[in-house]
Amino acid sequence: MASPTPHGVPDGPGASPVPPELAKPLRDQLESVADEVEEEVRRQVPEYARPADGAYREHLRSGVVQALTLFVDHIADPRGQGAAITATYYELGRGEALEGRGLDALQSALRVGGLHAWRLMGRTAEELGLDSAVVAALGELAFRTVHEVAEAAAAGYAEAQLRSADELERRRRRLLDLLLDEGPVSPEAVRDLAHGARWSVPGQVAVVALAATPDQREEEWPLAAAGALVDMESRPPRMLVPDPDGTGRFGGRAFTLALRGRPAAIGPTVPLTEAARSLHWATRALGLMGRGILPRQDVVHCADHLSTLLLHSDEPMLAHLRSRALAPLDAVSEGQRGRLAETLSAWLLSGSNVPDVAARLHIHPQTVRYRLRQLEKLFGDALHDPGTRLDLILALTSEQKGEEFLNSRP
CATH 1.10.490 boundaries in the chain: 20-166
**pLDDT for position 373:** 92
Regions in the chain scoring below 70 on pLDDT:
1-16, 49-60, 79-82, 98-101, 161-162, 164-165, 214-226, 246-258, 260, 400-410
pLDDT score of 198: 80
Q: Rg for the chain (alpha carbons), in Å?
A: 38
Q: Which residues lie closer than 8 Å to 54 by C-beta, 6 or more apart? A: none
- Secondary structure (H, E, C), 334-398: HHHHHHHHHHHHHHHHCCCCHHHHHHHHCCCHHHHHHHHHHHHHHHHHHHHCHHHHHHHHHHHHH
Q: Provide CATH code, domain 202-311.
A: 3.30.70
- Per DSSP, helices labelled H in 180-291 are 187-196, 244-247, 253-258, 275-290
Question: CB–CB of 236/200 below 8 Å?
Answer: no
Report how far apart, in Å, the C-alpha atoms of 90 and of each of 101, 152, 162, 311 are: 15, 5, 14, 62
Residues of the chain with CATH 3.30.70: 202-311
Burial class (CB in 10 A: 0-12, 13-18, 19+), 221: middle
341 and 348 Cβ atoms separated by less than 8 Å: no
Within 10 angstroms of residue 81's Cβ, the number of other Cβ atoms is: 13
What is the CATH T-level fold of the domain 20-166, as seen in this structure? Globin-like (1.10.490)
pLDDT at 218: 54
Q: CA 141, CA 149: separation in Å to the nearest integer?
A: 12
| Distance (Å, whole) CA 400 – CA 45 | 73
Angle, helices 104-127 vs 54-76, to 10°: value is 50
pTM of the model: 0.53
CA atoms of 407 and 339, how far apart (whole Å)? 10
Task: Measure the CA–CA gap between 74 and 139, rounded to whole angstroms.
Answer: 12
Query: What does the alpha-carbon distance between residue 136 and residue 130 come to, in Å, rounded to a whole number?
Result: 10
Q: Using CA atoms, how far apart are residues 382 and 34, in angstroms rounded to an integer? A: 100
Q: Specify the CATH number of the domain 315-401.
A: 1.10.10
Cα-based angle 372, 374, 380 (whole degrees, multiple of 5) = 90
Q: Are 156 and 90 in contact (CB under 8 A)?
A: yes
Give the Cβ contact number of residue 116 at 10 Å.
20
- Who contacts 338 (Cβ-Cβ below 8 Å, separation ≥6)? 405, 406, 407
Q: Please, which residues have CB within 8 angstroms of residue 348's CB and are 6 or more apart in sequence? A: 389, 392, 393, 396
